[in-house]
A = this chain, B = another copy of it.
Amino acid sequence: MKDKPDDLLAALEGRRWQSGAEVARRLGVSRAAVWKRIERLRSQGYGIEAVAGRGYRLVRDSDLLLPDAIRKHLRAKLLRGEIVHRTTIDSTNRLAAEQARGGAVEGTIVVAEQQTAGRGRLGRTWVSPASVNLYMSVVLRPRIPPLEVPRLTLVAGLAVAEAIRDSGTFQPRIKWPNDVLLDGRKVAGILTELEAEADRVRFVIVGIGVNLNATRTDFPPDLKTKATSLLLAGGAPVDRAAFTGRLLTRLDAAYAAFLSGGFAALRHRYEELHGLVGLAVTIDGTPPLAGTVRGVDDGGALLVESGGALQRVVSGEVTLRQAYRKLRRGPV
């Protein structure tokens, strides 16, 4: 079978819904072959919706996360390493760590169109459909002890929230420590990993996943009500490479501020975007801690008021004790 993606693109050009049977007939190939070509176009960055009963619809031309396209929007002092682009990869964090072990400099960046084994925190997976979102990992080599590394998750979360805010009329909210929400739904996550001697960091990998142009059909059923994307929340597709450049510019500035002034230098900006303040939460642990979030301290710990006392939480899973709706409607 010859590969003629251009025929297929031409067939979809009207950007209307077209049934798979109709497209197959026009191209003279099977419906399975159409599906295979749709998948290939998606892997090349084309945004194509597929809905049972309606067919296919082209919603966006290709916007691969190519290094040159990213650099056009990137102003950085520290994050000036190579940008490594992969069409598909098991995990950008895994490849970035491999590169760092091989000597990759601080600021080396790995981006991928798709992850086949995208990782989330605590061993969870990160749903990573092709060519609609951002999957990126950044190699950092800060001279800090391992115990300060969790603060880099907050630094990255701040940069992501700021980049989203820069992208339109969004009101992103950070859910300490590592998620960014839009309308109470997860739009981005951070996975920070490190390799270290016992008391000296060798390198840190900050992995960032942002749902940009994902549609409802890109999420598995159990995430449909919990996840969102900039497209879903804002109604318009985002230029992924431009967003990536802006995000890296924000991350570069936040990281530089952290290196010179610690998290304290960023705390005020973080609090502006922090979504948990004033909410009733439970932190897992033995025993679990229930209380009301009052903010974060200069070390990045979550401050939880419980039984009249203020507790510092340095790590843990936060569960909201009311519906996400409250978070969604919280004050800006």
Tell which of A142-150, A236-244, A322-330 binds the partner: A142-150
1/0 contact trace for A178-220 toward B, CB 8 Å?
Answer: 1000000000000111111111101000000000000000000
Q: In this complex, what residue of B is CB-closest to A147?
A: B147
State the copy count for this chain. Answer: 2
Collect the chain B residues with CB atoms within 8 Å of residue A149's CB. 146, 196, 198
1/0 contact trace for A113-134 toward B, CB 8 Å?
Answer: 0000000011000000000000
1/0 contact trace for A147-173 toward B, CB 8 Å?
Answer: 101101100000000000000000000
Residue A21 at the B interface, CB < 8 A? Answer: no
Q: In this complex, what residue of B is CB-closest to A315?
A: B199
Collect the chain B residues with CB atoms within 8 Å of residue A150's CB. 198-199
Collect the chain B residues with CB atoms within 8 Å of residue A147's CB. 145-147
**How many A residues have CB within 8 A of the partner chain?**
24
- Shortest distance between the CB of A251 and any CB in chain B (Å): 16
Q: How far is the CA of A198 from the CA of B93 in the complex (A)?
A: 13
A198 contacts which of B145, B193, B195, B202 (Cβ < 8 Å)?
B193
Q: In this complex, what residue of B is CB-closest to A97?
A: B195
Residue A314 at the B interface, CB < 8 A? Answer: yes
Collect the chain B residues with CB atoms within 8 Å of residue A191's CB. 197
- Say whether, besides A147-B146, A149-B146, A193 and B199 are in contact (CB < 8 Å): no
Asked if A196 and B197 make an inter-chain contact with CB atoms under 8 angstroms apart, the answer reads no
Asked if A153 and B193 make an inter-chain contact with CB atoms under 8 angstroms apart, the answer reads no
